[in-house]
Chain A
Amino acid sequence: MAELKKTTLHGLHTALGAKMVPFAGYDMPVQYPLGVMKEHLHTREHAGLFDVSHMGQVFIEADDGTWETAAKALEALVPASIVDLEPGQQRYTQLLDDNGGILDDLMVSRINMPGHDHLLYLVVNAGCKDADYAHLDTHLPDGVRAKVKDDVLSLVALQGPKAVEIVGALNPLIRKLTFMTHGEFELNLPDGPIYAHISRSGYTGEDGVEISAKHDDMVRLVGHLLEHDAVEMIGLGARDSLRLEAGLCLYGNDIDTTTSPIEAGLIWSVQKHRRGGEGYKGAARVAGDLKTKTRRLVGLKPEGRAPARAHTEIQSLDGVKIGEVTSGGFGPSVGGPVAMGYVDVPHNKTGSTVNLIIRGKAQPATVVKLPFVPNRYYRGV
């Protein structure tokens, strides 16, 4: 096995006593001494700081220096509308293959900085990033280039109700960002300013930010943020339970090349004029799945206390297999088990009762609307 890669913050994780695990080729903290349960609850109540520097950060730029050329090139590979992005606007979308299967899901932003608003900034999953970069290199047209910045930039997320207040103390303009917008900010650290790319988004269902900065600057920023009583480092364990309660897909569990954005319930990320069956790789599948209903990703609330883990079989009440759990576990904020899985039509209707086969026994569960915990995104006042 190849040696695990380390993020710039690796030394901090081990110094804090984190339990490290291999994840997507990186040696990453799964939990700190606080433990998954408390880390999860801390994030929902205060502010949790996540090292997500293993994720890929890429800029897309056209040789002709125009926004339109770069945006059109990416728009041919994803279902989201890109050309109409305003500077500072961010969208969630997916890279699709020719069959409409999901190669990766990602965040796309149009840079909001004078002289740079022709640039697209992408954040992609760690486990997919090498394949994503190859996909972009192969399928972006001549004259449009993907520039990978993983050797320069780190990425952290500060999530929770106190997150924006805390980072806003370093530059009050950050507080003006609304959900799914971003900007470039000077952060006034006590030992001198740094520059960071900050988006008001995340993967927990809470208000919060993702912060991209140069490796050395990030070490200083994280050191400063951790001095705050309300801030705790949070590992991948709680990151998973937080996103599951928030009803957010995890690539490799809930979505992959066998699932389409429509099956995965991601229709909200496909703008109306992009549902007609053309204009990007996999568009026909997106349009087709809107018409022919097969299966849908739904929330599942087990009635008992036994968690239903990924790959648990889902059966109808008369014992026919109708799907499979793709993510499941215990939701600390819910105070009980929560799961997501694909369920065949028509058993996927909200309020339907299904059986989860846990260790050979049928455990009833209800099909519920996602998320399990209400989102608390800041959409402005």
Chain B
Amino acid sequence: MHFTKDHEWIKIDGDTATVGISDYAAKALGDVVFVELPQVGDAVDQGGEIAVVESVKAASEVYAPVAGEVTAVNDALEGAPETVNAGPTGDGWFIKMKVADASQLDALMDEAAYKEYCEGL
């Protein structure tokens, strides 16, 4: 699993990847009440907006960790947005995507580096 400075995670499985927000992000946002997801087939740039997550407090954008094409969205979040808080790196995933250029992953943090990054915030 890799992480961005904006607190997204990405997990690679072959040439597809699953993307969500980190435990740190879910805690910081508080109770998630709505998630706006992209359409399957949408092309996304690295750092481009893929979703908006609304907590009781505010709306926050979620960005694509790498470029690619959206192949699936987690429809379950529509009826149960609280899943993001319950399992941000599990059932609370946002999208699956076909990765355009796997080398873009190299610039992301691994779990240990991300942990250190969060501790410094």
Binding site for B on A (CB under 8 A): 30-31, 35-37, 40, 237, 241, 305-307, 309, 329-330, 332, 337, 359
Contacts and interface: CB of A to CB of B under 8 A. Distances in A.
Given A306-B54, A309-B59, A37 B34 contact: no
B30 A31 contact: yes
Contacts of B58: 309
Contacts of A305: 33-34, 78, 81
Closest A-B pairs by Cβ, 9 of them: A37-B31, A330-B33, A36-B56, A305-B34, A330-B56, A307-B54, A306-B34, A35-B30, A37-B56
20 contacts: A35-B30, A35-B31, A36-B31, A36-B56, A37-B30, A37-B56, A237-B30, A237-B57, A305-B78, A306-B36, A307-B33, A307-B54, A307-B59, A309-B58, A330-B34, A330-B54, A330-B56, A337-B33, A337-B34, A359-B36
B31 A359 contact: no
Contacts of A329: 56
Interface in B31-70: 31, 33-34, 36, 52, 54, 56-59
A332 B36 contact: no
Interface of B: 30-31, 33-34, 36, 52, 54, 56-59, 78, 81
Contacts of A237: 30, 56-57
Contacts of A359: 36, 52
A159 B56 CA distance: 20
Contacts of A40: 56
Among A31, A241, A305, A359: residue with most chain B CB under 10 A: A305
A30 B59 CA distance: 16
Contacts of B54: 306-307, 330
B12 to A, nearest CB: 29
B59 A36 contact: no
A305 B78 CA distance: 8
A235 to B, nearest CB: 10
B57 to A, nearest CB: 6
A30 B36 CA distance: 25
A40 B56 CA distance: 11
Contacts of A241: 56
Given A237-B56, A330-B56, 4 more contacts: A36-B56, A305-B33, A330-B54, A359-B36
Contacts of A37: 30-31, 56
A309 to B, nearest CB: 7
Contacts of B36: 306, 359
B107 to A, nearest CB: 28
Contacts of B30: 31, 35-37, 237
Contacts of B56: 36-37, 40, 237, 241, 329-330, 332
A36 B57 contact: yes
A31 B31 CA distance: 12
Contacts of A330: 33-34, 54, 56
Contacts of B59: 307, 309
A56 B56 CA distance: 28
B17 to A, nearest CB: 25
A305 B35 CA distance: 9
Contacts of A306: 34, 36, 54
Nearest to A329: B56
Contacts of A307: 33-34, 54, 59
Contacts of A337: 33-34
Contacts of B81: 305
A37 B36 CA distance: 20
A343 to B, nearest CB: 22
A40 B57 CA distance: 12
A36 B81 CA distance: 16
A79 to B, nearest CB: 34
Q: Which of B36, B58, B78 has the most C-beta atoms of chain A within 10 angstroms of its own C-beta?
A: B36
